[in-house]
Amino acid sequence: MKRLEGKVALISGTARGRGRAAALRFAAEGALVVGGDLLHEEAVGTQRLIAREGGTALTPGPLDVTDEASVRSWVAEAVDAFGGIDVVCVNAGAVRFGGIDSRPYEDCAFTVRAELDSVRLTVRAACSR
């Protein structure tokens, strides 16, 4: 038996990089992966990779982890498809770099939404289901 056999893993940022790697690894360990990313077609590519390896994955639609409605919809689709959520891996995020003296407030607010609010929104939505 695999370590995550039958567990439902909610993973954001599955289009590429660490999110794709996490999705592939979780699936290899038997998890039912529910992925999501703003780069929806690339995230669907990850879903196809998982299927080719014999795993199960779902990528409901474009996911904006900074938008509460988008996150809630994603979580609801995971619960509807698999009956619940066992693992949450909030990987998606983005930053805008620059010096404190030259970086506008909007860049700082964007980074907070993408790096912090994304975790709060996802965990809150998952725990409420």
Q: What is the pLDDT of residues 41-74, one digit of tens each?
A: 999 999 999 999 999 999 999 999 999 999 999 9
The pLDDT, as a whole number, for residue 98 is 85
Inside any domain, residue 18 = yes
pLDDT at 105: 93
For position 1, what pLDDT does the model report?
Answer: 82
Tell me the average pLDDT across 73-86.
98
- The number of distinct structural domains making up the chain is 1
119 inside domain: yes
Bridge partners, residue 9, by sequence? 33, 87
Question: Which long-range contacts (C-beta less than 8 Å, at least 24 apart) are formed by 124-129?
Answer: 125/68, 125/71, 125/72, 125/74, 125/75, 126/10, 126/75, 126/85, 126/88, 129/75, 129/76, 129/79, 129/84, 129/85
Domain extent at residue 93 = 8-127
Is the distance from CB of 31 to CB of 11 less than 8 angstroms? no
- Per-residue pLDDT, averaged over 7-17, amounts to 98
CA distance 105 to 57: 38
Considering the domain boundaries, does residue 2 fall inside one?
A: no
Q: Which CATH number covers residue 28?
A: 3.40.50.720
pLDDT for residue 99: 86
Write the pLDDT tens digit of every residue in 83-125. Answer: 999 999 999 999 998 888 889 999 999 999 999 999 999 999 9
Indicate whether 45 belongs to any domain. yes
The dihedrals phi and psi of 12, each to the nearest 5 degrees, come to: -95, 155
Q: Provide φ and ψ at 74, rounded to 5°.
A: -60, -45
- What is residue 45's DSSP assignment? H
| 3 in a structural domain | no
Phi, psi of 56 (to 5 degrees): -120, 130
Residue 1 inside a domain? The answer is: no
Position 39 in a domain: yes
121 lies in some domain: yes
Amino acid 48: pLDDT = 98
